[in-house]
């Protein structure tokens, strides 16, 4: 950096808006990982240098691909940038190279418009890895790669739809084979009006089902009042709502607040997805899940609290 360059620090609210990481997450990482290490302004409030914010952006992007923050914070900004430019992290055992090749194979199949082979390849990946690893290690980074390809003009909209339809078919088949063990909680899954993307909802349903939760999916674009009616009629414990990056981020918090206002306090609301609006502000009675790996500990916490004393 040139010696005369002045770095203007950002407030924690600005960092939250910029990165999609909530204030609570930033404070928790500060305690747990000792990163980021903010300064303080004249009022004693946290402020962050742009270099830290850039590193946080890289970490959030890699988390959306299924990687864990505890390992990412140890990397330099340059190393994180290299990871973001590639399809996967290369591990010491070479598994990252296998992941990179796997992702490239799927991208090639999409570009060749070979729907049958694409679905077969994804199904084989699911059987080889198991559902949890398939979702975290393959599907999450694939979604990022396909989304980047669409935004950069390398994929057309119909090619992105081709991938989505193939993957949805594979995930629905996997979910359909899992028995409903009837273990609490009962989870109602849906999206708000205007959110047409179903892939994140299916991924969440798969993770909940893996953990033994009873899932009821309403599909996409359910009006708030109908979410409340369904929650009551189905006697659910949790309403889970998915937000993709395509949903207007300015409407996320208002939408969640509207749902919260219609539900009794004992019904929890969990929200997740890639939308940066999820980190803009906290809403009482709403829990934001940062990634798919957040589902299991969140369910463990719910079950521990629900156990009779």
Asked if 199 and 144 sit in the same domain, the reply is no
Asked if 198 and 296 sit in the same domain, the reply is yes
CATH number at residue 151: 1.10.1240.10
Cβ neighbours of 55 (radius 10 Å): 23
Report the SS3 class of residue 129: helix
Domain end residue (candidates: 18, 51, 85): 85
Give me the residue label for tokens 């009482």.
284
Asked if 41 and 74 sit in the same domain, the reply is yes
Q: Which two tokens stand for residue 227?
A: 């979410």
Listed residue (140, 41, 47, 127) closest to 99, CA to CA: 140
Asked if 136 and 248 sit in the same domain, the reply is no
The answer to whether position 219 is within a domain reads yes
Asked if 101 and 74 sit in the same domain, the reply is no
The answer to whether position 243 is within a domain reads yes
d(CA 253, CA 286): 10
The answer to whether position 2 is within a domain reads no
What confidence tens digit (pLDDT) does each residue in 241-294 have? 999 888 888 899 999 999 999 999 999 999 998 888 887 778 899 999 988 888
CATH number at residue 53: 1.10.1660.10
Query: Is the predicted pLDDT of residue 100 greater than 80, yes or no?
Result: no
Asked if 154 and 205 sit in the same domain, the reply is no
Asked if 49 and 107 sit in the same domain, the reply is no
Domain extent at residue 290: 183-306
Q: Which two tokens stand for residue 135?
A: 């979702």
- Rounded alpha-carbon distances, angstroms, from residue 7 to 1, 11, 36, 50, 305: 10, 13, 16, 7, 45
d(CA 154, CA 111): 9
The answer to whether position 273 is within a domain reads yes
Domain end residue (candidates: 176, 194, 209): 176
Domain end residue (candidates: 135, 158, 176): 176
pLDDT reported for residue 69: 81
Asked if 151 and 265 sit in the same domain, the reply is no
What confidence tens digit (pLDDT) does each residue in 101-148 have? 878 888 899 989 999 999 999 999 899 888 988 998 889 888 888 887
The answer to whether position 90 is within a domain reads no
Please count the structural domains in the chain: 3
pLDDT reported for residue 168: 93
The answer to whether position 73 is within a domain reads yes
Asked if 73 and 133 sit in the same domain, the reply is no
pLDDT reported for residue 98: 67
Q: Which two tokens stand for residue 275?
A: 């939308």
CATH number at residue 197: 3.40.50.280
Listed residue (257, 248, 255) closest to 283, CA to CA: 257
Pairing status of strand 39-40 against strand 46-48: antiparallel
- Check whether the bond before 185 is cis (ω within 30° of 0): yes
The answer to whether position 1 is within a domain reads no
Asked if 63 and 129 sit in the same domain, the reply is no
The answer to whether position 3 is within a domain reads no
Asked if 102 and 56 sit in the same domain, the reply is no
Query: What average pLDDT does the segment 198-206 reach?
Result: 92
pLDDT reported for residue 91: 44
What confidence tens digit (pLDDT) does each residue in 29-51 have? 888 888 999 999 888 899 999 88
Asked if 78 and 158 sit in the same domain, the reply is no
């Amino acid at each position: 950096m040139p010696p005369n360059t002045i770095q203007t620090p950002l407030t924690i609210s600005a960092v939250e808006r910029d990165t999609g990481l909530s204030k609570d997450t930033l404070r928790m990482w500060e305690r747990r990982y000792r990163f980021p290490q903010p300064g303080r302004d004249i009022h004693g409030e946290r402020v962050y240098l742009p270099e830290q914010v850039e590193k946080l952006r890289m970490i959030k992007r890699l988390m959306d691909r299924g990687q864990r923050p505890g390992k990412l914070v140890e990397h330099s900004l340059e190393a994180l940038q290299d990871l973001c430019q590639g399809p996967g992290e290369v591990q010491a055992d070479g598994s990252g190279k296998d992941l990179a090749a796997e992702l490239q194979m799927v991208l090639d199949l999409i570009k060749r418009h070979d729907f049958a082979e694409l679905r077969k390849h994804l199904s084989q990946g699911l059987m080889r890895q198991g559902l949890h690893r398939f979702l975290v290690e393959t599907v999450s980074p694939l979604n990022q790669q396909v989304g980047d390809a669409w935004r950069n003009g390398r994929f057309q909209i119909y090619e992105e739809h081709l991938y989505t339809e193939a993957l949805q078919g594979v995930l629905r088949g996997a979910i359909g084979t899992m028995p409903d063990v009837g273990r609490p909680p009962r989870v109602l899954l849906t999206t708000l009006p205007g959110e047409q993307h179903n892939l994140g909802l299916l991924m969440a349903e798969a993770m909940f089902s893996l953990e033994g939760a009873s899932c009821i999916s309403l599909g996409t674009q359910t009006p708030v009042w109908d979410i409340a009616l369904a929650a009551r009629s189905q006697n659910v414990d949790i309403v889970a709502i998915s937000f993709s990056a395509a949903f207007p981020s300015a409407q996320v918090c208002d939408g969640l607040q509207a749902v919260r206002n219609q539900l009794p306090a004992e019904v929890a609301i969990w929200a997740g997805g890639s939308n940066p609006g999820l980190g803009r502000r906290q809403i009482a009675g709403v829990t934001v899940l940062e990634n798919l790996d957040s589902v299991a500990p969140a369910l463990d916490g719910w079950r521990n609290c629900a156990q009779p004393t």
